[in-house]
Chain A
Amino acid sequence: MAESLLFEINPESGVESAAGADARLASALRLGSEEAYELLVARFQQPVYNLVYRLMADPGDAYDVVQEVFLKIFRNIGTFRSQSSLKTWIYRIAVNEVHNYRRWFFRHRRQEVVLEDDTEGGKSFGDTVPDRGRSPYDDALNDEKRVLIEDALARINPMFRAAVVLRDIEELSYEEIADVLEISLGTVKSRITRGREAMRRQLEGRLEPEPSFQWDPAAG
């Protein structure tokens, strides 16, 4: 019975709404459907990993944090209400787990000296999804730019970073961001603005502006 909930389609419209699909998945999860659990992992493990990776100043522990996120999802699915989408609910858990990890880190591991191992700690371009439309020259330039941007992102205030990541990387709406961060719309706007400003200041002088080509009709 739990499995059949996943595939029921509205016979009138022929297309299931996103909210309907979320509710069905949540119901199946609450009923303990193995298929629902598998579907949840398949659908969200990549986006959650990407989000957690971008939110953390040191992404080396993203793997562990993502596992904690999913454990929280499995154990708290009973508290999911359809007022928000499943995605924003899950993202909220992810943001909170990153915040919890940061607090734990500062309490317990800040004094440790970490020996950086570039082969394991840092992500190389090969660990990302490649863009086949770019040349190797473009890739080299973009790789350098990517490193600068990621570095700048890691340096800004975590609250602003979350807002910028959710807006400019995850492309959530202001309302969805307010739902994820559990803040008002006004605070969302403020954090996005201040986050972008902070990024701009970090990148000032380090990142060459892209050439802007303007057509001058007088030049013929």
Chain B
Amino acid sequence: MSRYLDNRLEEQERKGVEVHLASCGECATRHERMEELRRNLRSLPIVRAPRKLATELQVLASRELVRRRSTSSVAARMQFWAERARLLMDNLMRPLALPAVGGGLTSALFIFGMLMNLGYLRTAANDTPSTLYTEASVVKMAAFTSHTNSSDDTVIEVQIDGRGHMVDYNVLQGQMTGEMGNLLLFATFTPATMFLQPTSGKVVIRRSQIVVKG
């Protein structure tokens, strides 16, 4: 009966079955049920493939193509593995790249800024003190009255501590005299400051020789 249903019987066999079905109720019913079953099976709707399946299969195809090409020759195989290694390194480093660059750059800028402020900041006279650094300065010093035989200027670098006291001096040019030493001892100084805190610093004092002719 199954072959009759599928039209797979020879002509003579088919006629024989038709004759039998016309006279046998049980077989006729069975044939009808089988026909109905086939109808039901054929009317089952086509199950729609998920949309992402096509994308997945295309990705699979691409990977397979790459794999095939990479194994086609020794050179292709080496190039494939070199590209895989490069991709792996890129993927490993990418999460660290931005923080590393950003952090490094920020640190460099900060340190550079610190160095710039420490070494080269100068405040003008009567300027509002900077919070970073202010130099030591002379508050009060008596004038020089003696004369020397030398026509050179005298330049003295004085080391000032955090309390504004002279702790050392260095003659950069000319000669130190007794008068100059006394003047330095009794001079008062303002200490240098860093972040508003008193600190040691230096003051350069120059005594110029003025010659008046006539």
24 A-B contact pairs sorted by A residue (CB < 8 Å):
A32-B69, A37-B65, A40-B61, A45-B57, A46-B48, A50-B47, A50-B49, A63-B53, A66-B53, A129-B45, A129-B48, A131-B45, A142-B43, A146-B45, A150-B44, A174-B8, A189-B2, A196-B2, A196-B38, A199-B37, A200-B34, A203-B37, A209-B36, A212-B32
Annotate B95-111 by CB proximity to A: 1 below 8 A, 0 otherwise: 00000000000000000
The residues in B between 98 and 135 inclusive whose CB is less than 8 angstroms from any CB of A are none
Chain A-chain B contacts (Cβ-Cβ < 8 Å), number: 112
Please pick, from A46, A199, A210, the residue contacting B49 in the complex, using a CB distance under 8 A: A46
For B, the interface residue count at a CB cutoff of 8 angstroms equals 34
Q: For A41, what are the chain B residues with a Cβ–Cβ distance below 8 Å?
A: 54, 57-58, 61
Q: For B84, what are the chain A residues with a Cβ–Cβ distance below 8 Å?
A: none
Q: For A34, what are the chain B residues with a Cβ–Cβ distance below 8 Å?
A: 61-62, 65
Q: For A74, what are the chain B residues with a Cβ–Cβ distance below 8 Å?
A: 60-61, 64
Given the contacts A164-B41, A189-B2, A196-B37, A45 and B48 also touching, CB distance less than 8 Å: no
Q: For B57, what are the chain A residues with a Cβ–Cβ distance below 8 Å?
A: 41, 45, 66-67, 70
| Across the A-B interface, the 3 shortest Cβ-Cβ residue pairs | A128-B45, A49-B49, A193-B2
Query: What's the Cα separation between A14 and B167 when bound, in Å?
Result: 110
Q: Is B20 an interface residue (CB 8 A)?
A: no
The residues in B between 1 and 27 inclusive whose CB is less than 8 angstroms from any CB of A are 1-3, 6, 8
Q: For B65, what are the chain A residues with a Cβ–Cβ distance below 8 Å?
A: 32, 34, 37
Majority secondary structure of chain B interface residues (helix, strand, loop or mixed): helix
Task: Determine whether the beta carbon of A168 is less than 8 Å from that of B54.
Answer: no
Given the contacts A74-B64, A196-B2, A128 and B56 also touching, CB distance less than 8 Å: no
Query: What's the Cα separation between A193 and B1 when bound, in Å?
Result: 8
Q: Is B46 an interface residue (CB 8 A)?
A: yes
Q: Is B147 an interface residue (CB 8 A)?
A: no
Smallest CB gap from B1: residue in A: A193
Q: Is B150 an interface residue (CB 8 A)?
A: no
Task: Determine whether the beta carbon of B47 is less than 8 Å from that of A71.
Answer: no
Q: For A54, what are the chain B residues with a Cβ–Cβ distance below 8 Å?
A: 44, 47
Q: Is A123 an interface residue (CB 8 A)?
A: yes
Given the contacts A32-B68, A209-B36, A171 and B61 also touching, CB distance less than 8 Å: no
Please pick, from A38, A123, A167, A210, the residue contacting B6 in the complex, using a CB distance under 8 A: A167
Query: What's the Cα separation between A54 and B49 when bound, in Å?
Result: 12
Query: What's the Cα separation between A145 and B68 when bound, in Å?
Result: 47
Query: What's the Cα separation between A196 and B47 when bound, in Å?
Result: 21
Task: Determine whether the beta carbon of B64 is less than 8 Å from that of A71.
Answer: yes
Q: For A199, what are the chain B residues with a Cβ–Cβ distance below 8 Å?
A: 37, 41
- A3 smallest CB distance to B (angstroms): 13
Q: For A200, what are the chain B residues with a Cβ–Cβ distance below 8 Å?
A: 33-34, 37
